[in-house]
Structure 1
Amino acid sequence: MSVKVQRSFAEQQQGQLSGCGTLYLVATPIGNLEDMTYRAVRILREADIIAAEDTRQTRKLLSHFEITPGKLLSYHDHNRVASGPELIRFIIEGKNLALVSDAGLPAISDPGSDLVKLAIEAGIPVVPVPGANAALSALIVSGLPTDSFKFIGFLPREQRERDEILHMQQEEQSTLLFYESPHRLIKTLESMLAVLGNRRIVLARELTKRFEEMARGTVEACLEWLGEHPPMGEYCIVVEGADPGELEEKRNAWWQSLSIHDHVLHYEEKGLSRKEAMKKTAQDRGVSKRDIYQSLI
């Protein structure tokens, strides 16, 4: 497989001669409009086309910075299959296109990544115009390790699928980054407690906005706090990675050689009810009681 090298600014000049445009990925503020960069404003002013996840939201942003777009088009998860190739055609014809999301960096937890793939396949230069990002903003104020981190984004709505993804992170020692909406926050934290244990976390909400707030504590402590302070606004959840010592202890645990059936039986023989034996087994293995139940069916 050959290596394809993009030299962004040289290729922009060549593109002007060849008639091909450029795809710009333009970061927009995640709340505070003062976080908009000079370069982002310039690119949006100069772009022939702006593709936006929500054109109504983007019009407000453009109006604030007195930007009159050449053409503002909708590009979101529901129309990406049809709109993507059309946008690529515009760029091939010589139009410079700026892609923006509702907030932050495009192509992260939105369909922009699909457009990037199409552009690369078509030989179109893809140029980042950096700016605010909610996950990284939450990470740097969390107080948790920043030398290694893993972005997960939004977890699935269904508990079973959500738990499956969390199970995959049980031995991940990097700090974990999630996005979550207010009405699903408590269920997500309950899943984290059941699967990952009572780790240190940070709930960062309304970042850069008037009601910016960081709640730091264990999962259990944060759940108790949310009982008195109902979730409001969009959240970034920063979760402590797995403890290496605990992982080693778990790998050498007395029950490692036992099947789940024998593990539950061990506690039943000690006088625990089947329900309590399954609960203890789940705690030992760092999984949910439902997983133990499913394994015994």
Structure 2
Amino acid sequence: MTDTGERGGGGRGTLFVVATPIGNLGDLSPRAAQVLRSVQAVAAEDTRRTLKLYAHLGAPAPALVSLPAFDERGRVAAIVERLVAGESVALCTDAGTPGVSDPGAALVAAAWAAGATVVPIPGPSAALAALAASGFPADRFLFAGFLPRKGTGRAEALAFLAATPATLVLYEAGNRTRETLEDLAAALGDREALVARELTKLHEELLRGRLSDLAARLVGEVRGEVTLVVSGVGAAPPPRPAPEVPLEDELARRLAAGELPSAIAREVARARGLKRSDVYAALERLKRGSED
């Protein structure tokens, strides 16, 4: 077995805090893979998800210890016992970096208190990926996780965000995204924002615009996991784009050039900040018109 790190004091083991892919398994780093292959146990948010990760690695899984969000503190003691006995343990959640709106903070704190060595294995994070793709200033940003769903807690959280000058990063469930965008616009003003849905996955979608515009564009069911990035107070508005070719003119030109409709829809939607389904609909109208 490969040694994965130094021992803690007094023969204590090492807790590796391992970031895992948020969708695309190709984002698992070689270092994270080596650690997962080498540790004696894994503290996993969901052991079924972790088993799939080991199947991807083509490696046998070590002892898997469940660490669900609803009972994190109740499961910590058994994992700390392994560390005190000198074992190496990896902490990983279903996706992304442990402790960032996921279980893990209580275990890491307990590992420090027990004298174990704590080693971060950095990697994927939806919050940082969306922030990097937003184009908003990242020298100061606040990660706010999930807002309270309703009531006084939600109102107080929105008021706090409104008074925060930094760029804001939040998580939201797909079916609540439009409501949250509307609430953010009402509390913060109609700022520039980014909606990042299903990052690194097959149906990845990034939309940027004013909060009210984004809310209006998200009609119908929004599936998957969403990260929101909102520009800070007083952020400069984006430069006004040069006049662009009308959508139907561009689509007609590209169809005439023999480009595949799927490629046209994908590229035009991304370039113009439109939904791919809307571009497909415009393509279909053009094709029907040409057949009449």
TM range, normalised to the smaller chain? Answer: 0.7 to 0.9
CA distance in 2, matches of 1:223, 1:180: 13
Distance 1:239 1:190, change over 3 A: same
**1:39-118 alignment, distance < 5 Å:** 39-118=31-110
Specify every segment of 5 or more residues in structure 1 that has no aligned partner in the other structure, as ranges. 1-10, 246-297
Corresponding position: 1:236 with 2:227: yes
Corresponding position: 1:153 with 2:141: no
**1:32-43 alignment, distance < 5 Å:** 32-43=24-35
156, 163, 168: which one pairs with 1:164? 156
What one-letter code is carried by the residue in structure 1 that aligns with 2:156?
E
Name 2:178's counterpart in structure 1: 186
Residue 13 of structure 1: how far off its partner (Å)? 3.7
So what's the TM-score if we normalise by structure 2? 0.76
Residue 79 of structure 1: how far off its partner (Å)? 2.4
So what's the TM-score if we normalise by structure 1? 0.75
The 8 Å contact of residues 6 and 14 in structure 2, kept in 1 or not, is answered as no
Name 2:168's counterpart in structure 1: 176
Name 1:265's counterpart in structure 2: none
RMSD: 1.8
What one-letter code is carried by the residue in structure 1 that aligns with 2:218?
L
Specify every segment of 5 or more residues in structure 2 that has no aligned partner in the other structure, as ranges. 237-292
Residue 244 of structure 1: how far off its partner (Å)? 7.6
CA distance in 2, matches of 1:178, 1:141: 14
* Partner deviation per Cα, 1:88-145 (whole Å, 9 max, x = no partner): 0111001110000000111111220011111111111110001011000000111211
Residue 55 of structure 1: how far off its partner (Å)? 0.8
Q: After the TM superposition, which segments of 4 or more aligned residues of structure 1 sit over 2 Å from their partners? A: 11-15
Residue 81 of structure 1: how far off its partner (Å)? 2.2
CA distance in 1, matches of 2:11, 2:23: 37
The 8 Å contact of residues 163 and 191 in structure 1, kept in 2 or not, is answered as no
Q: What percent identity do the matched residue pairs reach? A: 42
Distance 1:19 1:51, change over 3 A: same
Partner SS, residue 16 of structure 2: strand
What one-letter code is carried by the residue in structure 2 that aligns with 1:26?
V
* Partner deviation per Cα, 1:64-93 (whole Å, 9 max, x = no partner): 111212201100122222210110011100
